[in-house]
Amino acid sequence: MKKVVFHTIGCRLNQAETAVLVDRLKRVGYEAVEFGQPTDVLVLNTCSVTGEAEADCRYAIRRTLRRSPHAFVAVTGCYAQTGVQALRGIPGVDLILGNQYKMKLPDYLPSLSFQGKRSEPVLLHSRTIDREDFVQEGVGDYGTTRANLKIQDGCNFMCSFCLIPFARGRERSRCLDDVLREGYELVERGHRELVLTGVNIGRFANGGVGITELVQRLEEIPGLDRIRISSIEPTTIPEELLDLMGSSKKLCRFLHVPLQSGDDGILQAMNRRYTVREYTDWVERMVTRIPDLCVGTDLMVGFPGEGPQQFDNTFSVARDLPFAYFHIFSYSPRPGTAATRLEQRISPPIIKARNRRLAELSRTKRLGFYQRFVDRPVSVLFETKGPEDLWTGLTDNFIRVGVTAPRDLTNQICQANITGVMDGLAIGQLTAQPSHPAGKRTLPMLERP
Ligand code: SF4
């Protein structure tokens, strides 16, 4: 049996796509092994969001070839779409698949890798990417309780710092029946939480169904306990989705809504589609309508023109809004994007210092959010036993809870009382038996749409 290592760099969408590739290659006889283990094939699913992509690729290829000098190396993902020339110059690459061909990898890999390593990589790449709604064969292979479910790809928004519209093409949605098909199959495999994933998921639209109705259709899957919306653009959140989040038993009270900057001038230069005031109003309205909602955000530091005042504006908004956490990104110019033409670049040490200040603030905000739940009951989907013998898992509103337990809690939903808070972890005590037995469940025959 041929061995294959998958190494994924970048976003949740890349992880979702890798998981489907794992499943499909296993079905044609490959055995998936851990990165760093001897292998016959390396599949590198890359990212080009930061300038590190090339370094990441070189590292992964070097590490694999040191252990397995004859391993066939296939590179796909956003860097394979946008950085073909650089990839061609990296020793050891045998196959480059642009994003148009990414999910066809299982069709090409067996015969190409059979021919062994090559002096020149085979290139499967097109500048343009299909615009039509799509079907994605296969089911994601995850070793975790939560599974990602891809519903959408591409983006039309053209934020000036972002390469994604070039790397992944125009927005398009996955066909509704196909989303539901994979959703049912993931639940049959024992996943209790599905995380809806895409580039701009609020723009999902297929056959007259938008994001809210999609969630309602997924809620009908028997045995599915949670549906989580991953990052969603603020201008694309329908009112009905908020209503549903406030009343649904399955849709998690969780919204990750990228802000990027708390300064109107910078937002405009970024080509974002809202003002600080509009964003602030949305967040305040959301937390009023949905009790105990977890709101997270993305912030970017060091965008051209971000002087001390602009950064202070971001810091104040981040501090004052009821965020539970932020992800902080340091701006790096991506060739081909509009922002590369902007002047007033910010120096790396300043960017680093700003990143550090916001990271510190994010830790404080998370602690504050967790503290609100001390002495309150929560429902936790447990994942694994971590260090210090604590079983950890997440509440629907994204609080990581750790408990001690004398039994295996993997993939069980249990009630717990929060008793205290440490850095990044709420400590809890179990208060009730799990709602379902441990491990994979055999579900009754599901009626498929
Ligand atoms: S909304 Fe903006 S940042 Fe997000 S993927 Fe689209 S272009 Fe990139």
Q: Which atom of ligand 1 is nearest to the CA of 199?
A: 5
Q: At what angle do helices 176-188 and 211-219 cross, to 10 degrees?
A: 30
The CATH number of the domain holding residue 105 is: 3.40.50.12160
Q: Write the DSSP string, 54-75.
A: HHHHHHHHHHHHHH-TT-EEEE
Can you tell me which atom of ligand 1 is nearest the CA of 165?
7
User: Which residue in this structure is represented by tokens 């390593």?
Assistant: 117
Same domain for 54 and 100: yes
Closest protein CA for atom 1 of ligand 1 = 157
**183: domain CATH number?**
3.80.30.20
Q: Which atom of ligand 1 is nearest to the CA of 271?
A: 2
Query: Both 283 and 426 in a single domain?
Result: no
Return the best residue to mutate from 11, 49, 157, 166 for the ligand 1 pocket (most ligand atoms within 8 A of CB). Answer: 157
Ligand 1 and 434: CB distance under 6 A: no
pLDDT digits (tens, 9 = 90+) for 148-159: 999 999 999 999
If asked whether residues 408 and 348 sit together in one domain, one would say no
The dihedral built from the CA positions of residue 170, 266, 290 and 426, taken in this order, carries a sign that is: positive
**In a domain? residue 47:** yes
Q: How far is the CA of 157 from the centre of ligand 1 (A)?
A: 6
Q: How remote is the CA of residue 407 from the centroid of ligand 1, in Å? A: 44
pLDDT at site 434 = 62
Asked which of 337, 353, 371 is the last residue of a domain, the reply is 371
C-beta separation of 105 from 129 below 8 A: no
162 assigned to some structural domain: yes
Residue from 132, 217, 221 nearest 176 by CA:
217
331 and 208 in a single domain? The answer is yes
Residues 300 and 393 in one domain: no
Residue among 78, 153, 164 whose CB has most ligand 1 atoms within 8 A, to mutate: 164
Does 153 sit in the ligand 1 pocket, CB within 6 Å?
no
- pLDDT number for residue 438: 44
Task: Say whether both 89 and 229 belong to one domain.
Answer: no
Tokens for 26, please give them: 């296993």
Q: Is residue 443 part of a domain?
A: no
Q: Indicate the residue among 61, 93, 124 that finishes a domain.
A: 124
Give the CA dihedral 7, 12, 16, 19, nearest 10 degrees.
30
State the residue range of the domain holding 263: 146-371
Predicted pLDDT of residue 436: 54
Contact 200 CB / ligand 1 (< 6 Å): yes
Which of 47, 159, 266, 299 has the most ligand 1 atoms within 8 A of CB, as the residue to mutate?
Answer: 159
Residue nearest to atom 8 of ligand 1 (CA): 162
Number of folded domains in the chain? 3
Q: Are 93 and 75 in contact (CB under 8 A)?
A: yes
The span from the first CA to the last CA of the chain, in angstroms, equals 36
Quick one: 201 and 270 in the same domain?
yes
Residues 6+ apart with CB under 8 A from 55: none
- Pocket flag, ligand 1, residue 257 (CB < 6 Å): no
Q: Is residue 97 part of a domain?
A: yes
pLDDT of residue 435: 57
Please check whether residues 92 and 7 belong to one and the same domain.
Answer: yes
Tell whether 156 and 291 lie within a shared domain.
yes
270 C-alpha to ligand 1 centroid (Å): 10
Q: 191 C-alpha to center of ligand 1: Å?
A: 29
Whether 141 is covered by a domain: the verdict is: no
164 CA from centroid of ligand 1 (Å)? 7
3-class SS of residue 3: strand
Q: Are residues 224 and 321 in the same domain?
A: yes
pLDDT tens for each residue of 264-291: 999 999 999 999 999 999 999 999 999 9
Kindly state if the Cβ of 106 falls inside 6 Å of ligand 1: no
Please report the pLDDT score of residue 433 as a whole number: 62
DSSP letter assigned to residue 236: G
The answer to whether residue 297 sits within a structural domain is yes
Residue 130 lies in a domain: no
- Write out pLDDT tens, residues 372-409: 999 999 999 999 998 788 999 999 999 999 999 999 99
Would the CB of 159 count as within 6 Å of ligand 1? yes
Residues of the chain with pLDDT under 50: 438-449
Q: Are residues 302 and 338 in the same domain?
A: yes
Task: Answer whether residue 438 is part of any domain.
Answer: no
Does 49 sit in the ligand 1 pocket, CB within 6 Å? no
For residue 132, give the DSSP letter: S
Residues 95, 89: Cα–Cα separation, whole Å: 12
66 token code pair: 């040191």
**Model pTM score:** 0.94
